[in-house]
A and B are shown apart, each in its own frame.
Chain A
Amino acid sequence: MHSNRYCNRIIVLPFSVLLEIRVKPDNSGVVTDGVKHSMNPFCEIAVEEAVKLKEKKLIKEVVAVSCGPQQSQETIRTALAMGADRGIHVEVAGKDYETLGPLQVSKIMAALAKKEDAQLIILGKQAIDDDCNQTGQMTAALLDWPQGTFASEVSLDGDKVKVVREIDGGLETIKISTPAVLTADLRLNTPRYATLPNIMKAKKKKIANVKPADLGVDLTSRLEVLKVEEPPQRQAGVKVETVEDLVGKLKETGRI
């Protein structure tokens, strides 16, 4: 149903991340009450890429989707101010939000992608608070779409997408057909600062409210968090007098 010449619709998924991580006193999780949220940096890059593609007239519409409580609307507004056309806020709050993980988000994304008839889904490669790096991949699998992850360069070519991926060994270039899922890596682009006129325009753009149940998604988590711990406190260093002492100490602590 999509045109052969250009893509019609991209969905981006800007995620909110916690800015301050504090472990709950009972070690059952991380404190989310009253902690500041902001758009995940990799998601900013994803939104920027989508807006760039629209500016190049390669796609017609950018839809920003965010899953979470009321605060997620702010993340969507920022995406709108950067140039997205409309937003969808999938309301997940309370206990459901605490257990919201990549599997549920990808189910939601898959359902929305079908409903919105999207040709491309662009996400940040991972969220900087939980570092999961799973949502993009899971979404592609659920939709049975090809995926171009860790993208540092994206170009549309007819109904195919050329993706340069950053991998451990260097760079890998692949060509995949649309519809597809892409995840943005650090060097894909430099996100723009929203211009003031765009911030004003964002006010008028629509944000639709959707519940996961409306999409037929079951939010039960298949994971149970057993314990959350802080990393060990940084220990003070030890001063040594000579190089021999240093080598000795390193051997002693099993470092060499």
Chain B
Amino acid sequence: MTVHPIVVDIFESKLNNKSTQHSTPPRLLSRSLGLCLSGCRSLTQLAELPETHQLLRQTCRDYADRELMPIAAKLDKEHVFPAKQIHELGAMGVMAMEVPEELGGAGMDYLAYSLAMEEISRGCASTGVVVSVNNSLYIGPILKFGTVEQKKQWIAPFTTGEKVGCFALSEPGNGSDAGAASTLARQEGDQWVLNGTKAWITNSWDASATVVFATTDKKLKHKGISAFLVPMPHPGLSLGKKEDKLGIRASSTANIILEDCRIPLENMLGPRGAGFRIAMQTLDSGRIGIAAQALGIAQAALDCAADYAHKRTAFGAPIGKLQAIQFKLADMAVAVESARLLTWKAAILKDSNKPFIKEAAMAKLAASEAATFCSHQAIQVLGGMGYVTDMPAERHYRDARITEIYEGTSEIQRLVIAGQLLKEYQS
């Protein structure tokens, strides 16, 4: 596979330390049982990463292999929120990766976050989305736009895994059309009063706080939307029924209903009217996390299919010897690897404070389409076994589908990419 030179430059300029000069082979641990599907991975995936990132990736991979993979099917079947695992991930620092250590976070960069997200999601996609929403969509905007007081109150308790947050932007009447927020916020004395309904909110049933977007000045259209911090539970805030989803079933998704929900004035996040901008910037970064989640699902599907290809025999030999299967696996591997490099590039650009909107959208688009492609092909490789719950392939297929929809549909991603691209050609 040829790598575009720009990608290599970005790596070299950012990862300019000694540990990348000699090639350290990837460290893979399997607890004496030798059951490590990820042992088949290629060297190039890790050879460019700095040592701390390699160590971090290995730690998350070990955690996912030992603690998430064995229970993922059960969590999915019983729609159970992985509270214990979220606590443990919180203790490791994974629930607040970008947050500085003073506030209780891990103080790491977005590249580290993408690596952690991919490994966690490879173990369990539902756990991955819980981690992603807490990191990118809840903590993200508060970290960027919150006051010192707000950060102490609304971030510090959410770093340990004991509490998780959520992000309430979508409504029954608008998803992609985020500028048409019909949830209203009016000022009454020293309080804001919120009224409206938010839809499809991940983590809603398990969250202790939410970032809500409501219109404060209808005449200003999307420039009249503001962001608010609301604790949960709270008088005036109620939850709709848990959606019965196709995939990521261990995470809760429901409506958030606001009926004269009163919050103090200091609960506004960022300046009045900045809500739309805050939402869009938050989603731009969140995209990278979701791309990483999709990568995890895609890789899990690939691992499943490749392992099966070794073991299943037909026509007198393992099916991995058949070109039809080999071509599928090759296509899957290329899809995953290209999406991975796009994701890393977007993360590195963000960490270097360079423009990354186009790359983040490309990463999310590529990774989510890789996830659906790989999980589809994985079922095909497994044949009948891919269709039953005995193998994880059917769960990957169901988990993958949402990655093309949430945090910006693939159609929206294309609009974002085209918009950025055309700007580059304007002279």
Q: Give the interface of A toward B (CB within 8 A).
A: 19-20, 34, 36-39, 41, 70-71, 74, 77-78, 81, 128, 193-197, 199-200, 202-203
Is B107 touching A77 in the complex (CB atoms < 8 A)? no
B316 to chain A, nearest CB (A): 16
What residues of B have a CB within 8 angstroms of the CB of A39 in the complex? 29
B22 at the interface (CB under 8 A from A): yes
| Contact of A74 with B24 at beta-carbon distance under 8 Å, contacts A199-B59, A200-B107 already known | yes
* C-alpha spacing A37/B55, complex, angstroms: 13
**A199 contacts which of B39, B55, B101 (Cβ < 8 Å)?**
B55
| Contact of A36 with B22 at beta-carbon distance under 8 Å, contacts A78-B55, A193-B63, A197-B101 already known | no
B44 to chain A, nearest CB (A): 13
What residues of B have a CB within 8 angstroms of the CB of A195 in the complex? 91-93, 106
Q: Looking at the complex, which of B30-38, B177-185, B218-226, B415-423 is the stretch in contact with chain A?
A: B30-38
| Contact of A70 with B22 at beta-carbon distance under 8 Å, contacts A77-B55, A200-B52 already known | yes
Is A200 touching B24 in the complex (CB atoms < 8 A)? no
What residues of A have a CB within 8 angstroms of the CB of B34 in the complex? 19
Is B27 touching A81 in the complex (CB atoms < 8 A)? no
What residues of B have a CB within 8 angstroms of the CB of A20 in the complex? 39
What residues of A have a CB within 8 angstroms of the CB of B24 in the complex? 70-71, 74
A106 to chain B, nearest CB (A): 24
B56 at the interface (CB under 8 A from A): yes
Is A196 touching B63 in the complex (CB atoms < 8 A)? no
Is A196 touching B51 in the complex (CB atoms < 8 A)? no
A42 closest partner in B (C-beta): B32
- Nearest first, the 9 closest Cβ-Cβ pairs linking A and B are A196-B93, A196-B106, A38-B29, A36-B28, A195-B92, A195-B93, A194-B59, A199-B55, A38-B27
| 9 cross-chain CB contacts under 8 A | A36-B28, A36-B39, A41-B31, A195-B91, A195-B93, A196-B56, A196-B94, A197-B106, A200-B107
Interface range, B side: 20 to 34
* C-alpha spacing A38/B27, complex, angstroms: 6
Is B59 touching A38 in the complex (CB atoms < 8 A)? no
B31 closest partner in A (C-beta): A41
Is A81 touching B25 in the complex (CB atoms < 8 A)? no
B264 at the interface (CB under 8 A from A): no
* C-alpha spacing A199/B91, complex, angstroms: 13
Is B39 touching A196 in the complex (CB atoms < 8 A)? no
* C-alpha spacing A202/B51, complex, angstroms: 10
What residues of A have a CB within 8 angstroms of the CB of B404 in the complex? none
| Contact of A196 with B108 at beta-carbon distance under 8 Å, contacts A36-B39, A41-B31 already known | yes
Q: Give the interface of B toward A (CB within 8 A).
A: 22, 24-32, 34, 36, 39, 51-52, 54-56, 58-59, 62-63, 88, 91-94, 97, 101, 106-108, 112, 116
B160 to chain A, nearest CB (A): 11
What residues of B have a CB within 8 angstroms of the CB of A38 in the complex? 27-30
B63 closest partner in A (C-beta): A193
Is A37 touching B108 in the complex (CB atoms < 8 A)? no
What residues of B have a CB within 8 angstroms of the CB of A34 in the complex? 25
* C-alpha spacing A74/B116, complex, angstroms: 19
* C-alpha spacing A128/B31, complex, angstroms: 10
Q: Which one of A74, A77, A78, A199 has the highest number of Cβ atoms from chain B below 10 Å of its Cβ?
A: A199
* C-alpha spacing A194/B29, complex, angstroms: 14
* C-alpha spacing A239/B25, complex, angstroms: 45
What residues of B have a CB within 8 angstroms of the CB of A193 in the complex? 59, 62-63, 88, 92
* C-alpha spacing A200/B28, complex, angstroms: 20
**B55 contacts which of A19, A41, A81 (Cβ < 8 Å)?**
A81
* C-alpha spacing A74/B46, complex, angstroms: 13
Is A71 touching B59 in the complex (CB atoms < 8 A)? no
A227 to chain B, nearest CB (A): 24
**B32 contacts which of A37, A41, A199, A200 (Cβ < 8 Å)?**
A41
A94 to chain B, nearest CB (A): 15
Is B101 touching A202 in the complex (CB atoms < 8 A)? no
* C-alpha spacing A70/B19, complex, angstroms: 11
Is A197 touching B93 in the complex (CB atoms < 8 A)? yes
* C-alpha spacing A128/B32, complex, angstroms: 7
Is B27 touching A36 in the complex (CB atoms < 8 A)? yes
What residues of B have a CB within 8 angstroms of the CB of A203 in the complex? 51-52
B130 to chain A, nearest CB (A): 17
A34 closest partner in B (C-beta): B25
* C-alpha spacing A206/B322, complex, angstroms: 51
B135 to chain A, nearest CB (A): 12
**A74 contacts which of B27, B56, B91 (Cβ < 8 Å)?**
B27
What residues of A have a CB within 8 angstroms of the CB of B101 in the complex? 197
* C-alpha spacing A39/B63, complex, angstroms: 15
* C-alpha spacing A20/B39, complex, angstroms: 9
